[in-house]
A and B are shown apart, each in its own frame.
Chain A
Amino acid sequence: MVEQDYQELTAEEAELYDRQIRLWGLENQKKLRNSKILIAGINGLGAEIAKNIILAGVKSVTFLDSKSVSKLDFASQFFIPRTDENKLRAEASLPRAQALNPMVELTADTGNLHEKDEEFFKKFDVIVIIEGKMSEQIRIDNICRANNIKFFAADMWGLFGFSFSDLQEHEFAEDIIKHKVVSKPNEKVKTEPIKTTSKRSLNFPSLETAIAFDYNSPAFVKRMKKSGPAPLVMKILQTFREQENRDPLPENREEDIKKLLSIRDSLSNSEQVTDIYFEHVFGQISPSAAILGGSVAQEIIKTVSQKDAPHYNYFFFDPQTACGYIEAIGV
């Protein structure tokens, strides 16, 4: 994926990225610097993801978005000036995004996601789809699979959010810490952590396979009892989007919550998802966007640097329990 021809970092880069190079090393910083990222859907979540990877120092980021700025964006899309209501989101986001790091190449593309063909996507190493229709997400995931492009889909409704990863066949290095006893037999026991690095690989299922999964299978219902109902919450909100061709709106608060509850009742047999999950499902609420955006950005960094085990394959943030966890669905 990422080009292997690395130049040494300049002194300027070494200084700017010092604190992160001390964490992930020079080699990974060079890999980041060669990676080209597409973010389709630059809403509050998209802005959080973009902020983090621009700061980290990727080669380029493209904002693909044909939507206009709406009032809802002002709840968490901190790139867009308040005076830019009704302008195009992608373009309105550029100046503040660029100010974060002048070394990253930024592009605004105001085209439609569904008009973009395979050639367009082949220009990127990593693609993140936000606010995408399910059929579009599947189409693009399949293009990514054919071209070995790493695919992410992520969405947020209010405080709730999730991300899905399809990294196909993904190889990565993982540090294993062992504790070696360094003291002599008659001394107090003293251990030293010894770090060794090993190679692993994971094979991700496609989005098509993952969404065909039966959420009502007894085994999965049992699993959700333990880990939480977030997969179902996601399914309910995705179903709303498909049915209404939009996301819930605060001005339709009561009505939309009613619709969500009825979708819930049609999708699940039990009271697995309590009403409280639907109190905050409008726009993207900033602190949750920061949590999910931080998580997705870190996954992009992991993916590009091929370092550490990626989330396999869904990440959920459940605001009711303040828990972020991983579920393997459809694998």
Chain B
Amino acid sequence: MAAEIDGFFRDDLREKILTSKLLVVGAGGIGCEVLKNLVMCGFKNIEIIDLDTIDVSNLNRQFLFHKEHVGKSKAMVARETALKFNPNVEIKAYHDSIFNTDYGVSFFQRFTMVLNALDNRAARNHVNRMCLNAKIPLIESGTAGYNGQVELIERGVTQCYECTPKAAQKTFPGCTIRNTPSEPVHCIVWAKHLFNQLFGEDNADEDVSPDTADPEAAGDAGKDAMEVDSNEKGNIERVSTKQWAQNCDYMPEKLFNKFFSDDINYLLSMSNLWKTRTPPKPMRYGEHDVISEVEDVSSTTGVMRDQKIWTVGECQKVFAESISNLKEQASKLKEDDHLVWDKDDKDAMDFVAACANIRSMIFSIPQKSRFDIKSMAGNIIPAIATTNAITSGFVVLHAFKVLEKKFEQCQSVYIRSQVNARNQIFVPEKIITPPNPNCYVCAAKPELILKVDTDVITVREFRDDILIKEMNMVNPDVMIDGKGIIVISSEEGETECNEEKLLKEMQIVDGCILKAEDFFQNYELTITIVHKKAEREDAKFEIIADKNILKTAESVEELKKQKTAEAASQSQEPGPSGLNGSSSNGGESSKNVAYESDEDDLVLVEETPASAEKRKHIDEDESPSCKRVKIDESEKPATLNDEDDDLICIDDD
């Protein structure tokens, strides 16, 4: 209510605070703090939207929520608590998804400015597009652990959220997950897939059985193995895994022996795989004498049970218990319904922890505690109150400057865990990064090059995995340029017959130009197709926003080698650091680094060289592709630039 007090603010700013209308997207860690700052300053007209409900693990930082609010709508409770702080303001709360078509461009145009307080890239991309379209200033922010950042997105003045390519979501080749895991995370991904196969929604990309189409095993795939045939997709033919499990009444012993003994024996028979790898050791149920185990996880306290590394016997015991509980849970569902894996469901989490560890033992991979497995399986980004408070403070200070139209003072600010070389801990960037003229979102005529294996990708995969998941369209229409052929229609059922066709069967081949359009986002994109063969560990597609990058692939490769050598010789860094190799970036001396949350803690990985790396493989020998699987549906943090030699980027959940 500062603006209600005479003399508190300079008059012109005061007037703007009292009369502006703001939209806050997200009522989580940043959203709660932003809302508090806004009502205390005296902003009179605020709307807030969030589709989420309150969880206990939110309460250590989302301070507008208390224990009695667990399970309730974040947006609604945030509104209630904030109104107590200042009853003289209007807050409208929506318990809803910002993707809902009710919130079109005209909805966004009602606001003076939009403040993002989101935790996922899909929604950030979407709001970015809506605000660009509506020509409304957007303040974007994020946190991860001790790090945070705030930036202004103003059409034509700054870069947009999608001007810089973000690090791709970490995926693993299907054959690594199914045949040759080598890291704990591979076993965790496999265990989550097993959960879905047994209790969840059937997904062809989440097969857990040995993959006989593995190019590395070619020639000997299961030749002398059991009398099991594989279908043309390489999966061992069986009734659906779920059906089979139901038929044997989810008996732990049968399930255990199937997945950890029979299937492993089958893998062993694919002998080419084990020429250079340690062969797995099949394990049978009860082999490890569960009963005589001295330690028993079920008797230890919650905290210890979470923190310790379980023994074989403990894993087997948890496996059996969780299966029986999950069977019980599933039996209460309606006929066609299924369980959805949730890191906060004890049995679902126990099941994944036990299965991941058993598979790790089989493949001689280090085991992890349930606590650590939860981080990886649930893609948890650590979050604390202080970083959220600081970041949200900068969001509202940026909002003041936007109200005063001082865009030139809205440099991005980075919140660091340790000071930089100039002793700064909250670091404003020196310049405003201008829009990337090659951005496939905010450029006048958005276009990009899509490298894709047109021999294996279907129209449905093109729509769901590329246009929707990667390019963030909501409901795309696609036609082949110049030919007038409609490949994908946003009208339900209109192009259903195309869905299972391969791209090449639709004449979408090398050199083909597509026009993709999303009516809701008011977004039109020209896509030039470049055919590429994907090999065993390779992605099936790659998006290139800047045409020039194709030409400079080799020089990027060179640069990458240099940079990596430099990094290797650096002995100490005050904070996380990373490398840059991107030539597509307009910012000066910027470094692209991304957090990757598939480790037990946040880990920084080098970005861009990876895309150069992928390019290297295009001409290499062709081989059957492996399905790539995603770790999680939840989001990877964004990649951003710091003026200093370190990192940052972020998300808060």
Contact = CB atoms under 8 A, between A and B. Distances in A.
B603 A100 contact: no
Interface in A290-308: 290-291, 293-295, 297-298, 301, 308
A179 to B, nearest CB: 5
A275 B395 CA distance: 24
Contacts of A252: 7
Interface stretch (A107-115, A124-132, A319-327): A319-327
A323 B423 CA distance: 10
Interface in B553-610: 561, 564-565, 567-568, 570-573, 576-577, 601, 603-604
Interface stretch (B56-64, B162-170, B514-522): B56-64
A8 B301 contact: yes
A251 interface: yes
Interface string B141-160: 00001100000000000000
Interface string A306-331: 00110100010101011111110000
Nearest to B424: A325
Question: What's the interface size class on B, roughly?
Answer: 35 or more
Nearest to B29: A19
Contacts of B388: 294
B428 A322 contact: yes
A71 interface: yes
Contacts of B577: 177
A323 B422 CA distance: 11
A40 to B, nearest CB: 20
B7 to A, nearest CB: 3
A260 B306 CA distance: 57
Nearest to A228: B424
Interface stretch (B79-87, B220-228, B315-323): B79-87
Contacts of A298: 146, 386-387
Contacts of A101: 59
A55 interface: yes
Contacts of B392: 287, 290
A11 B418 contact: no
A317 to B, nearest CB: 7
A151 interface: no
Contacts of A325: 419, 422-426
A188 interface: yes
A51 B63 contact: yes
B561 A189 contact: yes
B634 interface: no
Contact of A72 (B5, B37, B419, B604): B5
Interface stretch (A74-82, A136-144, A262-270): A74-82
B232 to A, nearest CB: 35
Given A48-B389, A52-B389, A22 B396 contact: no
A178 interface: yes
B8 A293 contact: no
Interface stretch (B172-180, B375-383, B495-503): B375-383
B262 interface: no
Contact of A286 (B36, B63, B386, B568): B36
B641 to A, nearest CB: 17
A261 to B, nearest CB: 16
Given A75-B5, A291-B390, A325-B423, A9 B375 contact: no
Contacts of B7: 249-253, 282
A18 B226 CA distance: 46
Given A20-B384, A23-B382, A308-B417, A55 B60 contact: yes
A191 B564 contact: yes
B474 interface: no
Q: Tell me which of B395, B564, B613 has the highest count of chain A C-beta atoms within 10 A of its own C-beta.
A: B564
B303 A55 contact: no
Interface residues of A, number: 82
A18 B572 CA distance: 30
A308 B397 CA distance: 28
A15 B1 contact: no
Nearest to A11: B302
B426 A323 contact: yes
A99 interface: yes
A280 interface: yes
A226 B389 CA distance: 28
Interface in B1-28: 1-2, 5-10
B380 A22 contact: yes
A91 to B, nearest CB: 17
Interface string B352-381: 000000000000000000000001000010
Given A291-B394, A291-B426, A322-B428, A181 B60 contact: no
Contacts of A308: 417-418
B271 to A, nearest CB: 25
B393 A287 contact: yes
A288 interface: yes
Contacts of A282: 7-8
Contact of A193 (B6, B383, B419, B603): B603
B67 interface: yes
B618 interface: no
B390 A294 contact: yes
A57 interface: yes
Contact of A290 (B307, B393, B409): B393
B133 interface: no
Contacts of A290: 33, 36-37, 389-390, 392-393, 396
B6 A23 contact: no
Interface string A58-93: 000000000000011011101001100000000000
B40 interface: yes
Contacts of B97: none
A74 B41 CA distance: 9
A295 B390 contact: yes
B572 A176 contact: yes
Contact of A51 (B8, B385, B390, B422): B385
A111 B66 CA distance: 30
B395 to A, nearest CB: 8
B601 A22 contact: yes
A301 B561 CA distance: 40
Contacts of B419: 325-326
A190 B579 CA distance: 12
Interface in A226-241: 226-227
A1 interface: no
Residue among B10, B87, B389 with most chain A CB within 10 A: B389
A256 to B, nearest CB: 9
Contacts of B394: 287, 291, 322
Contacts of B487: none
Interface of B: 1-2, 5-10, 33, 36-37, 40-41, 56-57, 59-61, 63, 66-67, 84-87, 145-146, 301-304, 306-307, 375, 380, 382-390, 392-397, 400, 409, 411, 413, 417-419, 422-428, 561, 564-565, 567-568, 570-573, 576-577, 601, 603-604, 613, 653
14 contacts: A55-B63, A74-B40, A75-B2, A75-B8, A76-B40, A81-B84, A193-B576, A193-B604, A250-B5, A290-B390, A298-B386, A309-B418, A323-B427, A324-B424
Given A55-B59, A288-B397, 13 more contacts: A8-B304, A11-B301, A16-B57, A44-B40, A72-B5, A176-B572, A188-B564, A189-B568, A249-B7, A283-B8, A287-B395, A294-B389, A324-B427
